[in-house]
Structure 1
Amino acid sequence: MPERPSLSDLDAFMAIVSHRSFRKAADELGLSPSTLSHMMRGLETTLGVRLLNRTTRSVAPTEAGERLASQLRPALSSLDRALAVIDDFRSRPSGVLRINGGEPAIRYLVQTVVPEFLERFPEIALDLVTDGRFTDIVAEGFDAGVRLGYAVPQDMIGVPFGGRARFVTVASPAYLEKRGTPQTPDDLKNHSCIRLRMPSGKLFRWEFERHGQEVVIDVPGALTLDHLETMAEAATRNLGIAYLPQLVAAPYLERGALLPALEDWCPWMDGLMLYYAGHRHVPPPLRAFIDTLKEVDRRAAVDR
Structure 2
Amino acid sequence: MRNLLSLGKSHYHYYLANLYAKMKRAHQLKSGDLFSLNVFLTVAAHRSFRAASIELDVTPSAISHSIKILEQRLGVRLFNRTTRSVSLTDAGERLADKLRPAISSVAEAMQVVDGLHDTPSGNVRINASEGAIRMVLKPMLARFLRDHPQVHLDVVADGKLSDIVAGGFDAGIRLAEAVPQDMIAVRVSDVVQFAAVASPAYFSSRGRPEVPQDLYRHDCIRFRFDSGAVYRWEFERRGIVETVNVSGPLTLTDQPLMVDAAIDGIGIAFVPDHLVRDALRDGHLERVLADWCPVMPGLCLYYPGHRHVSSGLRALIDTLRV
Per the normalisation by structure 2, the TM-score is 0.84
Cα deviation code 1:46-80 (max 9, x no counterpart) = 11111122233443333332333343333322221
Aligned to 1:285: 312
Cα deviation code 1:151-175 (max 9, x no counterpart) = 2223322222332112211111111
Matched residues in 2 for 1:72 and 1:178: separation?
Answer: 61
Aligned to 1:150: 177
Matched residues in 2 for 1:93 and 1:191: separation?
Answer: 52
Aligned to 2:42: 15
Distance 1:136 1:27, change over 3 A: closer
Out of 211, 216, 221, the position equivalent to 2:248 is 221
Matched residues in 2 for 1:2 and 1:287: separation?
Answer: 36
Out of 217, 225, 237, the position equivalent to 1:198 is 225
Letter of the 2:238 partner, please give it.
H
Q: What stretches of structure 2 of length at least 5 have no aligned partner? A: 1-25
Q: What stretches of structure 1 of length at least 5 have no aligned partner? A: 298-304
Matched residues in 2 for 1:181 and 1:247: separation?
Answer: 22
- Cα distance, 1:2 vs. partner? 9.4
Matched residues in 2 for 1:57 and 1:151: separation?
Answer: 33
**Does the 8 Å contact 1:97/1:286 carry over to 2?**
yes
Superposition RMSD in Å: 2.1
Out of 302, 310, 317, the position equivalent to 1:275 is 302
**Does the 8 Å contact 1:2/1:48 carry over to 2?**
no
Distance 1:66 1:246, change over 3 A: farther
- Shifted more, 39-48 versus 140-149: the winner is 140-149
Letter of the 2:55 partner, please give it.
E
Distance 1:30 1:274, change over 3 A: closer
Please identify the structure whose Cα radius of gyration is greater.
2
Matched residues in 2 for 1:124 and 1:278: separation?
Answer: 22
Per the normalisation by structure 1, the TM-score is 0.89
**Does the 8 Å contact 1:74/1:139 carry over to 2?**
no
Matched residues in 1 for 2:200 and 2:109: separation?
Answer: 56
Out of 262, 270, 275, the position equivalent to 1:248 is 275
- Cα distance, 1:192 vs. partner? 1.0
Aligned residues: 295
Q: Does 1:134 align with 2:161?
A: yes
**Does the 8 Å contact 1:174/1:238 carry over to 2?**
yes
- Secondary structure of the residue that 1:89 maps to in structure 2? coil
- Shifted more, 35-44 versus 48-57: the winner is 48-57
User: What stretches of structure 1 move > 4 A for 4+ residues in a row?
Assistant: 1-5
Out of 86, 101, 126, the position equivalent to 2:113 is 86
- Secondary structure of the residue that 1:113 maps to in structure 2? helix
Q: Does 1:117 align with 2:140?
A: no
Aligned to 1:160: 187
